[in-house]
Chains A and B, each alone.
Chain A
Amino acid sequence: MSFWKKYKNRMIVAFVAIILIVIIGITANGREKLSKGENLLGNIFSPVQKFSINIGERVSNFFESILHMGSLKSENEELKLKVAELEEKNRRYEDLIGRSDYLLREKELIENTHYNLIPAQLIGKEPGNWFNRFVIDKGAKDGVKKGDVVIQAVDTGEGIIQEGVVGRVLETGDTWAKVVSIIDENSDISFKAIRTQDGGILSGSVEGKLSGYLFDTGADVIKGDKLFTSGLGGVYDADLYIGEVINVIKEDEDLMKKVEVEPAVDFKKIYKVFVISD
């Protein structure tokens, strides 16, 4: 008894530490479903977080629009010119595609692929600087499943135009889901360059940059190439836009060609996303 009294505090601390390590061990291998307690906690917190993040978004949008008030008009003019230019370019590309049977078929495939998209909103970001994970406001009740791919897209009224792939769902609660982004350190994504169809693998890093390597050392990939998901491995759906190559590194002693990629999505500003459920 005296032993217990003397070391009571330390015993409790050691006990808690052991329990936590056991929990880490149990949950480390990934689970199919969240426990009831976790689910409940998420259900309670997610509406509050949603409310709070919406306020934050409004406030920061308000200040941003004030800051850019002066430049709006000139920017509008510029954008109009740019749209005209892009339309012209697009027509030329379509012409080019039309001439190649292979590409035509690929284009048809892309046009006819209809994903079932669930609109969702960001409700919280993981605190700290280590990882890039967040929580969205749609969960199992809305049809979101573990492993679903999350993309950023714009709803133009005529259809949904995808802007880029954001990440994939890690775990789902009733009305919320955890998402890991593609720039997360432990997230790998297989890609293909749209121009040459060369494939490779990209992974994220702590600094939030995407980099990876090509399967083929002789692959002809240059700065400015657009990368899409290849669908290899089945983790990410095929033909989702990832981003643009900003640097190609080839070292003689290395057997691989490395690429650095600028993701299409600004991960600091994601707010509205879509979940692909199939």
Chain B
Amino acid sequence: MNTFIIILSIVVNFILETTLIPHFRIFQVVPNTGLVLVVVLAILNGKTIGSLAGLVVGLLQDIMFIPVIGINAFIYFFVGYSVGIAETKLSKDSILLPILMTILLTFGYHMVYYIFMYFFNYNLPLSKLLKDVVSIETVCNTIIAIPVFKLLSKLFITPKITFGKK
């Protein structure tokens, strides 16, 4: 059941992210719901599923849009893994955890992406990028992370308890 929900959420997110979400731009910036989803899945399910989910989300984006395969898969894989490591040491109940993780990893995502792009000879102005894109995207992602976390934590945790009682 959990596997089904995870796969479904990844597919639904991918379709929404590439088709509907670009209609809702805030200061020309779109939120990165893929990143939010990987963070939330990793918090709720640990590092194995987190990193696997990251790999799938990243590969989907790479294959459908980008001529170079693997950059997003690489970054999302480590996003899932690093959140998964922290997950065992922190309380899952607090809403603060996904918020903090989203802020941290949105920033981390852009930094790693910048390093990759640097090696691909893209000359991008880092300061402008931080000011115009990363700051707004972090806020958007954080706002989206809250309902996504609440929704998915309900889906994942409740059935486990009822099965345990039986």
Contacts and interface: CB of A to CB of B under 8 A. Distances in A.
B22 to A, nearest CB: 5
Contact of A16 (B47, B69, B77): B77
B20 A53 contact: yes
User: What size tier do the contact residues of chain B reach?
Assistant: 35 or more
B143 interface: no
Nearest to B32: A128
B65 A133 contact: yes
A56 B23 contact: yes
Contacts of B137: 129
Interface residues of A, number: 45
A171 B67 contact: yes
B69 A49 contact: no
Nearest to B67: A170
B66 A127 contact: no
B128 A27 contact: no
B52 to A, nearest CB: 9
Contacts, number: 120
Contact of B67 (A9, A27, A123, A135): A27
Contact of B19 (A9, A124, A133): A124
Contacts of A130: 113, 117, 133
B30 A127 contact: yes
B73 interface: yes
Interface in A23-38: 23-24, 27-28, 30-31, 38
9 contacts: A17-B78, A21-B74, A23-B70, A124-B65, A127-B30, A127-B34, A128-B30, A128-B32, A130-B133
Interface of B: 14-23, 25, 28-30, 32-34, 47, 51, 55, 60-61, 63-71, 73-74, 77-78, 81, 113, 117, 120, 122, 124-125, 128-129, 132-133, 137
